Chain A
Amino acid sequence: MAAASTETAIRSSRFARVLIYLVLLLFALFYLLPLGIMVVNSLKPLSEITGGNMVALPRDWTIAPWLSAWSTAQIGVEPTGLRPYFINSIVMAVPAVMLSTIVGALNGYVLTKWHFRGATIIFGLLLFSCFIPFQIVLIPMARILGILDIAGTTSGLILVHFVYGIGFTTLYFRNYYAAFPTELVRAAQIDGAGFFQIFWRIMLPSSGPIIAVSFIWQFTNIWNDFLFGASFASGGSAPMTVALNNLVNSSTGVREYNVHFAGAIMAAAPTLLVYIVAGRYFVRGLMAGSVKG
């Protein structure tokens, strides 16, 4: 009797499990649909798209749209393809991400381990900067870039993203370091380590998860940014997002949808890659400190 009911329980739970997975699979497929359509259409000749069916698989597989998007497509007035702008974006994002992460880590370290008068107010102001809409910053930032004589350059964009990111990175590191035992800092002080030695030798080596969080967050935001890119960079120094817009909106000739799809995937690829590589740290870092372990 008891055995039979256990068996029934196992069988019904297995049935429920299959049902759950089926539903989840369906959701996942639905979610992947846009990406699937982009990939499929980027591998078709243009005639197959204009001919009608966007969902169907290509009859003639081709990578010509990709090559065109990368190196020969018309971006604005120049037939350069997206390549130079892709490089622009990397040259912009990498230093901006690293600078804002390091400064955020330093801020978090100082705010949690070196108490000083007004620390809470400074942290509050930094937090406030997270909530300022992009649009409000545009005009004062344009003025500052003008004064510094880096308006319209990649260096200018690096500065903008670096400064704008400090609020977020400080928030992450402050909360992470708040749970970091202060006794370690005190022990290091007695051992004779200075301010930066404690930071480099004790704090940073234990900050892996939160560095990953800061890195992913900053990289995604900076790479995907359009407004600052469109406002503060011009022509040859524009980032990938602006170039993609220029590719899609080029008004000469026919609209090469397959090339546009390929370009859009190229623009999205780096952030996707970062999530796949560092994604598990992202969740781990966000959860850090919430549970003891």
Chain B
Amino acid sequence: MGFLDINNVTKAYGSVEVLHQVDISVEEGEFLVLVGPSGCGKSTLLNMIAGLESISSGEICIKDRVMNGVHPSRRNIAMVFQSYALYPNMTVGQNITFGLEMHGTPKADRDKAMADVAKLLQIENLLTRKPGQLSGGQRQRVAMGRALVRNPDVFLFDEPLSNLDAKLRVDMRTEIKKLHQKLGTTIVYVTHDQIEAMTLSTRIAVMYNGYVQQLGTPKEIYDSPANLFVATFMGSPAMNVLQSRLEDRNGALHAVIRDASGQDIALRIENAPAAYAAYTGREVMLGIRPEAITDPEGADRNARNIQALTNIVSVTEPAGADTFVTMTLSGKDCIARMRADAEAHPGQSFDFAVNMDKAVLFDPKTEDRII
């Protein structure tokens, strides 16, 4: 049993099931991120943990206490909303202490708790202002202060950064991570932004269509995606997925793809999992992250299996730190991530290095990774 247990939870509106058999166990101090596109059920799941939506079947337990039907205020949770949901008629100080007041905490204790939180978040000078007089970042801090002051068992964040501008979002992301490291609290965090998910979490649950597609550490999710959806949703630019054929050449497995001129290119696979054998001679989807395709000098020195590939460059996009190079492989655009000073030019041939250690194969029918 974990700290927060979600056991076989489903949610249905009438006969429409929007969340199917979700099973997640969160340990104390973990930072779990629920990530997925709009309508995948992540916010619904969060609202069910908060008690704002009823649970159709299954159980949610916090500290081994079943929470089904327990009022939100009795679950010892705190929530930060996307719109911050600060009470417009109250000052920042009153906003922060409202929850304590409702729980009957004496005034002196409330003021002390407020002072502590204000100091932690550096909002001491804002306490007498109204939410309407604050900037987006300040409102965000106040919303976190309101959650922190209650000292809850579990923090719930519902897309807290999506209303901020790009720069502030990155700053606040770091700030949330710092806060988590400092306080060691248990956090469930909903976002549709895969970078937030990767950077903040200790574990990620990727959700789609009401199912948890994969639950794992950021590294597991990124390097060993369970299926094509997870593979393409996580990572930016997205993983290249190429139609290819698995062939046995001279006793070694090769993934065969076509270059821009229609010529076959065979990429050797080493240390192939046993399951690959069954796919020999069949179509498979080859998944390669953009950073696994580089110029030969920029290739990962620790990689054991680097395959050469020569192809025509169609577009280059310098992005400062990296240059993204697009080429056509197996009839689709394929993006490679290079050093900024790699000498790739549109229309010219270029020698690429493919790190096949990082390549993954998917079954084209089930879209699951072949392991």
Contact = CB atoms under 8 A, between A and B. Distances in A.
Interface of A: 181, 183-184, 186-193, 197, 201-202, 205-206
B89 A187 contact: no
B81 A187 contact: yes
A193 B102 contact: yes
Interface in B72-90: 72-73, 77-79, 81-83, 85, 87-89
A189 B52 contact: yes
A192 B99 contact: yes
A188 B87 contact: yes
A190 B98 contact: no
8 contacts: A183-B81, A183-B85, A186-B85, A187-B85, A190-B72, A190-B77, A191-B98, A193-B98
Given A187-B79, A189-B72, 4 more contacts: A187-B81, A187-B85, A191-B99, A197-B102
Given A183-B83, A186-B52, A190-B79, A206 B99 contact: no
For chain A, what secondary structure do more than half of its interface residues adopt (helix, strand, loop), or is it mixed?
Answer: helix
B70 to A, nearest CB: 12
B50 interface: yes
A267 B275 CA distance: 93
Interface of B: 50-52, 71-73, 77-79, 81-83, 85, 87-89, 98-99, 102-103, 146
A188 B98 contact: yes
A192 B89 CA distance: 18
Contacts of B83: 181, 183
A181 B85 contact: yes
Contacts of A201: 87, 98
B85 A192 contact: no
Contact of A206 (B52, B81, B89): B89
B102 A191 contact: yes
A43 B102 CA distance: 60
A177 to B, nearest CB: 14
Most B Cβ at <10 Å: residue of A189, A190, A201, A205:
A190
B89 A190 contact: no
Contacts of B99: 190-192
A188 B82 CA distance: 15
Nearest to B156: A190
Contacts of A190: 50-52, 72-73, 77-79, 99
A206 B132 CA distance: 12
Q: Which of A187, A188, A201, A206 counts the most B-chain CB atoms under 10 A from its CB?
A: A187
A187 B71 CA distance: 13
Given A192-B99, A193-B98, A202 B89 contact: yes
Nearest to B73: A192
